[in-house]
Amino acid sequence: MFKVVFVIAFALVVAVANAQCYHVDKVVSSSQEFEAACRNARSGWNIILKKGSYVSPSGGSFFLRAVTGTRGCPVTVTCKKPGEAVLTSPLDISTSSYVTVSNIMVSNQDADGWGIYLKAADSVTIENVRFSECTGQGLILQASSHVTVRNCTFESVGDSSMWFDDTYGSMVKGNTFGDKLAFDDGVNVIYMLHDSSSNVFTDNFFNGKSGSFLYWIDCRECTNNEFTNNVFQNSDGRAMRDGVIIHEGSNNLFKENFMVFNPDGQPYPDGFAFRVGDTKQRICASNKVSGTTDITDGEIDSSC
């Protein structure tokens, strides 16, 4: 009897593991239809936005809350032709997992308007999304994990392009941080705080063509993050406080990055490419810095 029960249980586990994902295309062409699709989304739903502009009928955000997909059967929000669908209201993805957003543009010009907000989300992918003329933050990740942000473009963002708050295990790869990275004074392109850890930033291009940000990366209480093979270019001849600054965090790795300051655009006289103060970081000798001799106020690790 035990063997029979075991075999049946094993068969059920295999059947569930190999269950077919039923993808359902939900084509929407209006803000009301998109709002309803977000509210009712289920695993396997592929919400396809037709060409046009989408604003929340309620005057707030579009909500994908408590939506649960699976690795092989995610919930997807996309547009067939990249950039043809424009969200002028923010997209809120909270307490959700296995959600993919791709091929859309986000342009929220409301006061302090942010683009996409992830809270307590897991395994979300943001891919080939253009963040343009958001007056607040472009992408906010709060208390989230295993988020992938790849091949996105951030331009003309009023506050930080990306804001990490207690987020871990995420991958930021192949993105372009371009024209007018931050057009409000006193902000940073990447802002990390509240013990954000074990995130990887690689193969990204930062082009500080214009704007008024203080640092490319401002890292507060962040630990064990990795920044590898990124290009930072300050091309408008504008002074910055520092290139990268770390407060209270430890053991962050900066390896094989290429950082360029134009002669008139190097950090302030007392600034550094990497400012780490009395924190313990790994600033590798493999980083290449051009345009300033003030590389770091910390130690350079010649072993990496």
DSSP state of 58: T
Q: What is the DSSP string of 167-211?
A: -BS-EEES-EE-SSS--STT-EEEEEESS-BS-EEES-EEE--S-
Mean pLDDT over all residues of the chain? 88
CATH 2.160.20.10 is held by the domain 107-304: yes
Angstrom distances, CA of residue 101 to CA of 16, 20, 89: 26, 22, 15
Would the pTM of this model clear 0.85, i.e. be above it?
yes
Per-residue pLDDT reduced to its tens digit, 170-219:
999 999 998 666 555 567 889 999 889 999 999 999 987 655 678 889 99
b/e 9-48 (16+ beta carbons within 10 angstroms → b): eeeeeeeeeeeeeeeeebebeebebbbebbeebebbbbbb
Cα 31 from Cα 289, distance rounded (Å) = 47
- Cβ contact 122:97 at 8 Å: yes
Per-residue pLDDT reduced to its tens digit, 101-128:
999 999 988 867 899 999 999 999 999 9
Task: Please give the share of the chain, as a percent, with pLDDT higher than 90.
Answer: 64
* Domain ranges in the chain with CATH number 2.160.20.10: 107-304
Cα 87 from Cα 22, distance rounded (Å) = 27
Token couple for 29: 């062409």
Angstrom distances, CA of residue 243 to CA of 40, 217, 289: 44, 7, 10
73's CB contacts (< 8 A; 6+ apart) are 21, 22, 23, 43, 44, 98
Q: pLDDT band for position 235 (50/70/90)?
A: low
The predicted pLDDT at position 156 comes to 78
Cα 89 from Cα 8, distance rounded (Å) = 50
- Cβ contact 100:122 at 8 Å: no
- Cβ contact 172:196 at 8 Å: no
105's CB contacts (< 8 A; 6+ apart) are 83, 85, 86, 87, 129, 130, 131, 132
